[in-house]
Amino acid sequence: MKKPNPLMAGLQQFDRKGAVSPPSTAPKPVAANAPGPAPRAVKTRSREGAVQIAAFFPEDVRTQLKVLAAEQRREVQDLMAEALNLIFVKYGKAEIAPRKGE
């Protein structure tokens, strides 16, 4: 299917004398990559009562974390929980980040 050309569609509104043509009643084609309504977030039972904590780091940090998780045969989330608990202990707080196992 040929992509619609927005420039040509705009030019076709005008006839040769410069008058504006009435708008077309044909439905406009929808582009395959056109943004639609955002999908609704679905919380799974395992995420009930949980919130996401995010931070931005260089891509190499993520890669190294994933490699470490694979080497340890653990999930990245479990390593992150371990890291957070270590920070909590360092600053005199309770280890409250849940971990799946070691």
Tell the residue number behind the tokens 């196992």, with chain if given: 101
Give me the pLDDT at residue 62, please: 97
Count CA atoms closer than 13 A to 80's CA, side-chain side. Answer: 11
Residue 78, both tokens: 């479990």
pTM above 0.75, yes or no: no
Q: Are 30 and 23 in contact (CB under 8 A)?
A: no
Q: Which residue has better confidence, 39 or 87?
A: 87
Q: What is the pLDDT of residues 48-85, one digit of tens each?
A: 899 999 999 999 999 999 999 999 999 999 999 999 99
CB proximity list for 4: less than 8 A, separation 6 or greater: 28, 29, 31
CB neighbours of residue 77 within 10 Å: 13
Between CA 99 and CA 83 the distance in angstroms is: 11
Mean pLDDT of the chain: 82
Q: What is the pLDDT of residues 3-50, one digit of tens each?
A: 777 777 767 766 655 666 566 666 666 666 767 777 777 767 878 899
